[in-house]
Amino acid sequence: MNNMMLINGKWIGPTGTDSDSTVTNPATEEEFEKIPQADGETISKAVEAANIAFKKWSGLSYTERGNYLKKAASIIYDRKIEIGRLITMEMGKPIAEAIGEVEKAAKILLYYAEEGERVYGRIIADQSRSFQSHVIYYPVGPVAAIIPWNYPIELLTWKTGGALTAGCTMVIKPASITPLSASAFCRCLTDAGIPDGVINLVYGRGSVLGKYLISDKRIKKVAFTGSTEVGKKIIEQCASNMTKYSAELGGHCPLIVGETADLEKAASDATRRSFRNMGQICIAINRIYVHRSIHDKFTAKLKSKAESLIIGDSLKTNGVNLGPMSDKNGLEKIIKQIEDAVEKGATVITGGNKPDGANKGFFFKPTILTNVNHEMLIMKEESFGPIVGVMPFDTAEEAVKLANDTNYGLAAYIQSNDYYEIEYLIENLSAGNVAVNNPDAGVMNAPYGGWGDSGNGYEHGPEGLLGYLKIKQIRKKICK
Ligand code: NAP
Ligand code: MG
């Protein structure tokens, strides 16, 4: 039931032929479900359904659309355990975090259901008293939403909340690793009574079917979250039809720990943001720059906290902090980064290998490297795994230079109790999101977007909603 695509209100299951693909549990390496794959014709049908449904859906009021979202949020909340379980089976995060992700999805829909009421437009005075400009927002049209696997429901919901509230319809393409949770999510929306064609769900390899979706002229916006490499390709494809896009891409995020930082808190926050979800978070901390005077103390605390994390299959063991990585390629990538760093002189102070006895599953120990430098892959290439490099600095200027030595600019973290140092760092760090003395750079009602290679466009907050709207400016003569 959760292995189906959705086109124009109809659910389409596997074909029972070789064209079906499989879903693997990364904790056991077992293939446990088959899913159908869309071809160009199927994609076209999904786009057509979204295009036809757009007229009616965009014609509803914000309140009417909001009511559907509120109902869907309540159904999602009721099914949080079922959907959470699917997330864990597909991509491995601990079940408690998966359920938390689904709860958050329900809250995001509720947030946008209300935020729709606050799309006001504007009236602008003219240079002449006889004229006025009115600014009115319209939904852009059918949206293609292309989603990664690391937060498969949360990242899908950001797009769904913004797009549906604005009056757009959707064709959703989840990552091939996480199709089932996306299907269960879409079923909550259809069970909430969302009209046929408003949301459609297609499966298949992005590298094969992406072009059909993106180059279709009926698609008016591509909302993409994923790697910078794929994001750049998608933006190029959008250019030919002048299709609007948002691109939330990769990161390589620094944490600066100043001399005055609360070391216990800095180490706890760093542990959470470096290793949570096995480091498979775009805003994960990848590089830590610590004032030389506290480098050894901080590193010892970080090591002890990393070693206290419980690794395992959360569907079999209670209290698990870290599941497996979501796929084998990711695991191979971090092993290569560690080998590269060690070859160039780094020291692995903890981790660097699989936990004892983990013969099956893509498990790996949280890994900390010291004696690192910017020649090493780990300090410049997105790891998307549970590894972090720690390096000393002497002055705040030097810390900024090191932190900004990257083309990415998604998030940066500061731990300090020196007011002027904090202000200096906020001002000079090149990142779309800066978190001070806390590990959570993104929040539901504030804009979230990357600088540089980390993307273009915003999600979260009113800015996330504006991304699904286009403006009409009307200059009116208002008196003779
Ligand atoms: P990815 O390889 O770029 O894939 C993301 C999505 O794009 C998947 O649905 C994928 O489908 C699809 N895709 C792949 N090639 C495509 C193509 N040529 N045309 C159209 N679609 C294509 O990224 P990922 O490995 O799933 O996720 C990890 C990346 O996402 C990391 O770089 C991470 O930093 C980034 N991320 C960014 C944010 C943010 O908000 N900035 C949040 C989370 C993750 P298949 O699965 O079928 O390949
Ligand atoms: Mg990928």
458-474: average pLDDT: 97
pLDDT digits 0-9 by tens, 419-430? 999 999 999 999
Does 278 score more than 90 pLDDT?
A: yes
pLDDT digits 0-9 by tens, 92-114? 999 999 999 999 999 999 999 99
Q: What pLDDT score does 20 carry?
A: 93
CA distance linking residue 104 with residue 110, whole number of Å: 10
pLDDT band at 281 (very low <50, low <70, confident <90, very high): very high
CA distance linking residue 468 with residue 472, whole number of Å: 14
Does 18 score more than 90 pLDDT?
A: no
CA distances from 375 to 78, 195, 405, 406, 408 (A): 49, 54, 11, 12, 16
CA distance linking residue 91 with residue 24, whole number of Å: 8
pLDDT digits 0-9 by tens, 122-169? 999 999 999 999 999 999 999 999 999 999 999 999 999 999 999 999
Pocket of ligand 1 (CB under 6 A): 146-150, 155, 173, 175-176, 205-207, 210, 225-227, 230, 233-234, 248-251, 282, 382, 384, 410, 450, 454-455
429-443: average pLDDT: 97
pLDDT band at 42 (very low <50, low <70, confident <90, very high): very high
Q: What pLDDT score does 166 carry?
A: 98
Report the mean per-residue pLDDT for the chain: 97
Per-residue burial over 231-241, b = 16 or more CB atoms within 10 Å of its CB, e = otherwise: bebbbebbeee
Rounded CA Rg of the chain? 23
Contact 299, 368 (CB under 8 A): yes
Ligand 2 mean position, distance from CA 330 (Å): 9
pLDDT band at 480 (very low <50, low <70, confident <90, very high): confident
- Residue 211 alpha carbon, nearest atom of ligand 1: 19
Look at the block and give the residue holding tokens 């971090």. 334
Contact 157, 110 (CB under 8 A): no
pLDDT band at 324 (very low <50, low <70, confident <90, very high): very high
pLDDT digits 0-9 by tens, 185-244? 999 999 999 999 999 999 999 999 999 999 999 999 999 999 999 999 999 999 999 999
Pocket test for ligand 1, best of 90, 104, 147, 150 (most atoms within 8 A of CB): 150
The residue type at 386: P
| pTM summary value | 0.97
Q: What share of the chain is helix, strand, coil (3-state, %, to 5)?
A: 40, 20, 35
- Report residue 186 CA to chain centroid gap: 18
Which residue, among 159, 135, 139, has the nearest Cα to 147 in the 3D structure?
159
